[in-house]
């Protein structure tokens, strides 16, 4: 619990600026159509991850993907997809610069090759993408990083901390003007590095990493719907993430990393990584911030800090949440044409309802 509450502990209602999701997987085709309404219900904008098959590499790819998203929007939805490019060793700096100048793309995504879902086309050798990164530093285009090394000798629970020391810190020393978002941080090392990074550094935190630690995935049976990358860590790291998200620091903002996979691929001998939280994120966040005595800081985390980092206006609308005696209910699954997608279930009752 944080001291110095501005809101009474029994506050039952909160209205905040309409939130954005600064890290979202929408996929494509029938899956896109099934999951998009889950995001547009509450969020005005989202940074759209480019790890499709094949990935969104060029400005032309991003334009086409953006059109497919716009075509899939539910009627009356006012949602703005903020497009990203998937960085490859063949990416052309001029293509990136033109896409940024036209307003088509908001960021470029660095996937170390092999780090996660559909990342095999990502970067093996950072030296090969240095001309792109130099151009991005020059024009102020943010780089979103999947911050994990892929070296097989590095334990999966250490991959984020090792990435910070061996990749991110040297990169930022070399290109101090490069604007970087550490995506989905999961460790106290990530929290600490972001805290010291200055205005050119931001860090997204997912909803699920505020709720689960590695015991939730592994103790008493393996729970594939809690498996994501970066994998949830020890409890002390979850607590560090909670302190960061509720600290009021502008460095941290919401990126759900909501990542749909059909159940057949989650409940599998080699299950896919991803938690699907688009449906219930706002209720879950209100619950977490309420538990931390920080409801007055939910707006900063979900609606203000992200636009400030990305130099975009805050959304004009609002969302209102109310704490009711009866808990929220969500569909257990979203029925997508390729198969059902399980909605993230926190494992405890949540009483914060989004009412408007």
Chain positions contacting Zn ion, by CB under 5 A: 257
Name residue, tokens 């080699």: 270
Exactly one of 142, 147, 274, 307 binds ligand DOR (CB under 6 A); that residue is 274
Q: Is 28 a catalytic residue?
A: no
Name residue, tokens 């793309």: 105
DSSP lists the bridge partners of residue 353 as: 322
Cβ proximity to ligand DOR, 14 vs 211, nearer residue: 211
Cβ proximity to ligand DOR, 5 vs 53, nearer residue: 53
| Paired tokens of 282 | 């706002």
Write the CB contacts of 256 (distance below 8 Å, at least 6 apart in sequence): 21, 23, 24, 206, 207, 277, 278, 281
| Contact between 349 and 287 (Cβ < 8 Å) | no
Q: Select the binding partner of residue 117 from Zn ion, ligand DOR, none (C-beta < 5 to 8 A, by kind).
A: ligand DOR
Cβ proximity to ligand DOR, 255 vs 307, nearer residue: 255
If one asks whether residue 341 binds ligand DOR (CB under 6 A), the answer comes out as no
Site for ligand DOR in 139-158 (CB under 6 A): 146
Shortest Cβ distance from residue 185 to ligand DOR (Å)? 12
Of 172, 230, 174, 229, the closest CA to residue 201 belongs to 172
If one asks whether residue 228 binds ligand DOR (CB under 6 A), the answer comes out as yes
| Contact between 334 and 341 (Cβ < 8 Å) | yes
Shortest Cβ distance from residue 25 to Zn ion (Å)? 6
Cβ proximity to Zn ion, 262 vs 350, nearer residue: 262
Cβ proximity to ligand DOR, 40 vs 116, nearer residue: 116
Residue with the CB atom nearest Zn ion in the bound state: 257
Shortest Cβ distance from residue 230 to ligand DOR (Å)? 7
If one asks whether residue 116 binds ligand DOR (CB under 6 A), the answer comes out as yes
Which of 20, 21, 95, 257 does the annotation list as catalytic? 257
Of 287, 213, 205, the closest CA to residue 243 belongs to 205
If one asks whether residue 25 binds ligand DOR (CB under 6 A), the answer comes out as yes
If one asks whether residue 91 binds ligand DOR (CB under 6 A), the answer comes out as no
If one asks whether residue 233 binds ligand DOR (CB under 6 A), the answer comes out as no
- How far apart CA 281 and CA 208 sit, in angstroms, is 9
| Count of residues near ligand DOR by CB under 6 A | 11
Q: Select the binding partner of residue 305 from Zn ion, ligand DOR, none (C-beta < 5 to 8 A, by kind).
A: none
Residue with the CB atom nearest ligand DOR in the bound state: 228
Q: What share of the chain is helix, strand, coil (3-state, %, to 5)?
A: 35, 15, 45
Cis peptide bond N-terminal to 230, omega within 30:
yes
| Distance (Å) of CA 29 to CA 65, 240, 346 | 10, 38, 28
If one asks whether residue 117 binds ligand DOR (CB under 6 A), the answer comes out as yes
If one asks whether residue 208 binds ligand DOR (CB under 6 A), the answer comes out as no
What sign does the dihedral 266-112-219-208 (CA atoms) show?
negative
DSSP state of 224: G
Query: What count of residues does the chain have?
Result: 356
| Contact between 182 and 143 (Cβ < 8 Å) | no
Cβ proximity to ligand DOR, 258 vs 315, nearer residue: 258
Residues of the shown chain interacting with ligand DOR in the complex, contacts defined by CB under 6 A: 25, 51, 116-117, 146, 228-229, 257, 259, 273-274
Q: Which residues are designated catalytic?
A: 257
């Amino acid at each position: 619990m944080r001291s110095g509450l501005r809101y009474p502990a029994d506050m039952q209602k909160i209205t905040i600026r309409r939130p954005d999701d600064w890290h979202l997987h929408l996929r494509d085709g029938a899956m896109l159509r099934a999951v998009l309404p889950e995001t547009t219900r509450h969020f005005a904008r989202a940074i759209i991850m480019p790890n499709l098959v094949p990935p969104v590499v060029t400005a032309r790819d991003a334009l086409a993907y953006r059109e497919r998203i716009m075509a899939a929007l539910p009627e009356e939805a006012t949602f703005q997809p903020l497009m990203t490019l998937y960085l490859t060793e063949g990416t052309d700096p001029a293509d990136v610069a033109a896409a940024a100048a036209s307003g088509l793309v908001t960021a470029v995504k660095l996937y170390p090759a092999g780090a996660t879902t559909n990342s095999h086309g990502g970067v093996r050798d950072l030296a090969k993408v240095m001309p792109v990164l130099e151009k991005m530093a020059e024009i102020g285009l943010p780089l979103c990083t999947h911050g994990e090394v892929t070296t097989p000798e590095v334990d999966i629970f250490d991959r984020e901390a090792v990435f910070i020391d061996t990749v991110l810190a040297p990169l930022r020393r070399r290109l101090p003007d490069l604007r970087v978002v550490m995506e989905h941080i999961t460790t106290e090392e990530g929290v600490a590095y972001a805290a010291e990074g200055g205005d050119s550094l931001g860090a997204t935190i997912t909803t699920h990493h505020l709720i689960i630690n590695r015991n939730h995935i592994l103790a008493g049976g393996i729970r594939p719907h809690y498996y994501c990358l970066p994998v949830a860590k020890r409890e002390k790291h979850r607590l560090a993430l909670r302190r960061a998200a509720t600290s009021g620091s502008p460095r941290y903002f919401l990126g759900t990393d909501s990542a749909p996979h059909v159940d057949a691929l989650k409940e599998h001998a080699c299950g896919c990584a991803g938690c699907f939280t688009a449906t219930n994120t706002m209720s879950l966040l209100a619950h977490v911030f309420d538990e931390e005595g920080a409801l007055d800081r939910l707006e900063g985390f979900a609606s203000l800090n992200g636009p400030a980092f990305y130099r975009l206006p805050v959304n004009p609308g609002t969302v209102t949440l109310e704490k009711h005696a009866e808990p929220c209910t969500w569909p257990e699954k979203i029925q997508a044409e390729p198969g059902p997608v399980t909605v993230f279930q926190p494992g405890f009752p949540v009483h914060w309802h989004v009412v408007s």
